[in-house]
Amino acid sequence: MSHRRLTDRVVIATHNPGKLKEMQELLAPYGIAAVSAGELGLPEPEETGTTFSANARIKAEAAAQAAQLPAFADDSGLCVDALGGQPGIYSARWGGPDKDFQMAMDNVQALLITVDALTAEKRRAQFVSVLCIAWPDGHVEEFEGVVKGTLVWPPRGTRGFGYDPMFVPEGFTRTFGEMTSEEKHAMPPLGKGLSHRARAFRLLSAACLAADAAE
């Protein structure tokens, strides 16, 4: 399949300030001007999908049609092995209507205790991110990134957002909440593109942002 190059201006289809900041930082080196759905006053569509891919597409397509611009959306979450993949696509909802992620992390920890997942081996998890770009004419591109790791308790660090303070990626001793944004998602040569969103973005950039991407 040929890929379509993303140029000039894009809508970031999120109202989450943490995701918005990360996406803007990822797009900045490519000279892509990014405006958020919130800044344009676009409503948040109901996420009725049952997968990360479906929900990313819902958000991207809704923003692309409303703004008549290419729209860039992410759907991501934490999938805990011992909890059968929960909270998964409902990761944000575990924080309640106020998206209180301390409460969400407390809920994850409480459930891990109930299933006797107290050792590192029983606390395996992964962050999953699907990035979707939709154009007003209906063309869509999707890319998935995964980072595996272990959940710790109590949470550590005040950087990042969401479940970052309780997630230690494989090969590291610090949580995402203890890492700088450059450590977490900066691309080479500044960083290793460590996070799930950065890994998905590396695939996206190679397909839709590289100079030789197909028109």
Of 133 and 191, the one with more pLDDT:
133
The structural domains of the chain, with segments of one domain joined by +, span 9-209
Give yes or no for residue 54 having a pLDDT over 90. yes
What SS3 string covers 155-180? CCCCCCCCCHHHEEECCCCCCHHHCC
* pLDDT of res. 212: 41
- Region 183-211: mean pLDDT is 81
- Region 171-196: mean pLDDT is 84
Q: 196-204 and 17-27 are packed helices; what angle lies between their axes, rounded to 10 degrees?
A: 40
What's the CA gap between 123 and 148, in Å, rounded? 11
Sheet holding 33-36, edge to edge: 33-36, 9-12, 71-80, 124-134, 140-151, 167-169
Q: In percent, how much of the chain has pLDDT > 90?
A: 65
Yes or no: say if 63 and 43 are a contact pair by the CB < 8 Å rule. no
CATH architecture of 9-209: Alpha-Beta Complex (3.90)
Give yes or no for residue 189 having a pLDDT over 70. no
User: How confident is residue 73, by pLDDT bands cut at 50, 70 and 90?
Assistant: very high
Residue 144: strand, helix, or coil = strand
Mean pLDDT of the chain: 90
Which positions are annotated as active-site residues?
A: 75
Give yes or no for residue 39 having a pLDDT over 90. no
* pLDDT of res. 27: 83
Give yes or no for residue 187 having a pLDDT over 80. no
Q: Distance between terminal CA atoms of the chain? A: 12
Q: Which of 18-22, 31-35, 148-152, 160-164 has the lowest mean pLDDT?
A: 18-22
* pLDDT of res. 215: 39
This prediction's pTM: 0.88
Which range, 33-42, 130-139, 195-204, is most confident? 130-139
* pLDDT of res. 17: 80
* pLDDT of res. 125: 98
